[in-house]
Structure 1
Amino acid sequence: MGDPHGVGIVGLGFISRAYLETLVGHPAVRIVAVADLDPTRAVAAAAAIAGAEAVSVQGLLHHPEVTTVLNLTIPAAHAEISGAAIEAGRNVYGEKPLTATFPQGRSIVDRAASAGVRVGCAPDTVLGTGTQTARAAIEGGLIGRPMAASAVMVTPGHERWHPEPDFYYAPGGGPLLDMGPYYISALVHLLGPVRAVIGAASRLRDVRIIGSGPRQGQQIPVEVPTHVTGVLEHADGALTTLTTSFDGVATMAAPIEVHGEDGTLAVPDPNHFEGTVRRRALGDPEWRPLEPQAGYVAAARGIGLIDLVRADDTRPPRAGGELALHVLDIMTALLRSAEEGRRIELTTTTERPAPVPLTPAEEWRSARQLRESAPPDRPPRAPARDRSHDPSAVR
């Protein structure tokens, strides 16, 4: 696909900072253009990136040096921007979810296939050492045949810290579409695709109150379920129970647990690239940590785009469109199941992405990034963990 690979970024909110930390100066890519609904934000971003131009969205989509569009807009705009990029003959890599609705996602993947361009989508956190080490442990037989899993995400809601939280409670938002992609993508890596779902959902409040920023105290309407739970039937027979909530306070449950005939794995938060995988074998009274066995070491937001750029005909992108579409199918089917009160069989499946071998930071990060992240005469330190859903982060 070329090296360096020309990238244009649409949407320069908070999440763009994490991508830029990884992509600017990386030998595999070059940021050639940026665009935002707020032109002053685009100008400021371009000024900080050597060789980048601040342009309109249409100017970016048709920029002669842009080969891939990085779509960092809000979920409601994902389909429009990604579709326009495909129409312009560009590859597209976007933030999760792929689109706000399944028909939109199906259209994006089909149109890209017809146009001969690639689609990639976050999350790429599952390519780090946390999820990938757990996958290696399962595939290595450390817990025997996996039979079941649980995945739990509980928070009181993003309006407590986000100054513009409206989109979290509008169609395309909610805890499942917002945070579910991390957990479900990890589950597909660990246990394979899903064939059917059963869901239930509720909404604790019809309005939320903004807790910070210039709109503090303002009420916003809640248009989507804010507590979603369900069962995923994996194609190989394993069952996962999933809970995503903006209505709880906290949880002590492991983000993901995978149960096998011979042991259980506690898997770290899939919203983070790293974390300790713990195993408790049958008959062992203690949980024992596993050393990292797989994944991009010291990974950071944007590794999925780099992985896409470096993919070829023998190895598709690991954070690719087919996986993102299957994840979207799972989530929207869960919501439909909750509304209709029935088990729903999915219309999609996907190949499990290729596992990521243990890849040292110096093999995927730029020399500049390694120098800047390492104190003098000391080895490179890992970058700060992904904070796109921390209280200090604003997308």
Structure 2
Amino acid sequence: MNIGIVGCGNIIAQYVATLPALDALRLVAVADLDLDRAEAVAAGLPGVRALSVPELMDDAEVDLVLNLTIPAAHAQVALAAIAAGKHVYGEKPLAATTAEGGEVLAAAAAAGVMVGSAPDTVLGTGTQTARRAIDDGLIGRPISATATMVCPGHERWHPNPDFYYVPGGGPLLDMGPYYVSALVTLLGPVASVIGAASHTRTERTIGTGPRAGENIPVSTDTHVTGVLIHESGALSTLVMSFDAVATQSANIEVHGETGSLIVPDPNHFDGDVLLRQLGGPAWEVLPVSGGYVDSGRGFGVQDLALTEPGQEPRAGGKLAFHALEIMESVLQSAHTGQAVAITSTCERPAAVPLTQPAVVAH
């Protein structure tokens, strides 16, 4: 499958480091609103052309558009790609709102093309080994989970952090997709949510790059807490913050009737999974038992390319839409003070067997 990337910002470096090693994919073109930036990326990638965005959409060689634009542009770019008859895989979230996300899925269904979305970290050995432990009954019936992400804000390291502090950004829409997608992968879809949220500052100061010292406005919640009630009856507690300093809490813990799991950071593909069973003397590190080994950003695109027609990719649009509705509903609940029912659902994505992908350098 030939890939064309739209958006040549910071995240592209992680994708172009991985894509050349994946045997089902070939990167053929890159585009950006700033053509100079696209040309700078293409210059370091033999055989890859720098195009304008309309040129890439019209290019017959491109089978799939990898959408690495800012969240506010995700739906617009995805819809343009779908209108051109191309598959789409986008950075998270699927769209800035569920209304836009629904438009993307409806257009893709009508056009007969596939939609995938980050995060594909859930396909790595960390989350998938935990998934295998749950499926094998090592913790008994799952009861609850906690998911915690605490940091003082991305403006400390990102040279252009504006989009993190407007609707469609914030800790929940930016980092939440990793955690919510992992929770759905581990415990299944969510039926309803309860939320609370706040923000401590009305502006942030950029800490690095040519704009260092510049203040930017904050117009979205920067500390969010939610309770997710899964269809299975399990309860997940979510804490996402750009306001606090640090935490010693595990990124994700899953508790069952006969055991508990510590799941590694869902922003990474690997990491140790720890198990403590009822009556056991200590935590033990589980052997790696599932997921793509040595994976990185882009493995979700390969998984989509290998998906049979008519089937849903593991990092697919339906999971991304469900995660987006969960997050949007947590914020809605926070603002109304009422629980919100989730209207969408999705199949719990198929587990990834322990897989060392075939690789080839293009």
TM > 0.5 fold call: yes
Residue 136 of structure 1 corresponds to 132
Query: Does the alignment pair 1:246 with 2:242?
Result: yes
Between 16-25 and 251-260, report the one with greater CA deviation. Answer: 16-25
Matching of residue 225 in structure 1 with residue 221 in structure 2: yes
Q: Answer whether contact 2:226 2:237 (CA < 8 A) is retained.
A: yes
Residue of structure 2 in register with 1:310 after alignment: 306
Matches of residues 1-395 of structure 1 in structure 2 within 5 Å?
Answer: 5-24=1-20, 26-313=22-309, 315-360=311-356, 363-366=357-360, 368=361
How many residue pairs match? The answer is 362
CA distance in structure 2 between the aligned counterparts of 1:338 and 1:297, rounded to whole angstroms: 39
How many angstroms does 1:45 deviate by? 1.8
Shift of 1:182: 0.2
In structure 1, stretches of 5+ residues that fail to align are 370-395
Contact 1:28-1:309 within 8 A present in 2 as well: yes
Residues 22 and 302 in structure 2, CA contact (< 8 A), matched pair in contact too: no
Q: Which stretch shows the higher mean deviation, 351-360 or 20-29?
A: 20-29
C-alpha separation in 2, matches of 1:26 and 1:63: 22
Residue type of the alignment partner of 1:275:
G
Bigger mean CA deviation after superposition, 150-159 or 305-314: 305-314
Distance 1:210 1:27 in 2: 40
The one-character-per-residue Cα deviations of 1:64-121 (angstroms, maximum 9, x if unpaired) are 1111000000111101100110111111000000001110001101110011111000
Q: Over residues 269-304 of structure 1, what are the superposed CA-to-partner deviations in whole Å (9 max), with x where a residue is unaligned? A: 000000000000011131010010000000111000
Q: Deviations over 1:23-78 (max 9, x none)?
A: 12533111121101111111122222222211110110010111100000011110
| Residue 308 of structure 1, CA deviation | 0.3
Structure 2 residue ranges without an equivalent (≥5): none
In structure 1, how many angstroms separate the alpha carbons of the residues matched to 2:229 and 2:314?
22
Deviation per residue, 1:121-157 (Å, 9 max, x gap):
0000010000000000000000000010000000000
Post-superposition shift, 1:314? 7.0
Find the residue that maps to 2:11 and give its secondary structure. helix
Letter matched to residue 293 of structure 1: S
Q: Which amino acid aligns with 2:115?
A: V
Where 1:61 maps in the other structure, the secondary structure is: helix
Q: Which moved more, 1:14-23 or 1:47-56?
A: 47-56
Residue 62 of structure 1 aligns to which amino acid in structure 2? D
Deviation digits for residues 154-213 of structure 1 (CA, Å, limit 9, x no counterpart): 000011111111110011100000000000000011000000000000001111111111
Q: Percent identity?
A: 60
Matched letter for residue 62 of structure 2: V
Q: What SS class does the counterpart of residue 350 from structure 1 fall into?
A: coil
Deviation of 1:315 after TM superposition, in Å, equals 4.7
Q: Deviations 1:290-333 (Å, cap 9, x if unpaired)?
A: 01000000011100000000110475211000000000000000
Give the TM-score normalised by the residue count of structure 1: 0.90
Name the SS of the counterpart of 1:24 in structure 2.
Answer: helix
Give the 3-state SS of the residue equivalent to 2:76 in structure 1: helix
1:367-390 CA distance string (max 9 Å, x none): x49xxxxxxxxxxxxxxxxxxxxx
1:385 aligns with: none
DSSP 3-state at the match of 1:135: helix
Contact persistence 1:86–1:112 (CA under 8 A): yes
Q: Deviations for 1:198-240, whole angstroms, at most 9, x for unmatched residues?
A: 0000001111111111211111110000000010000010000
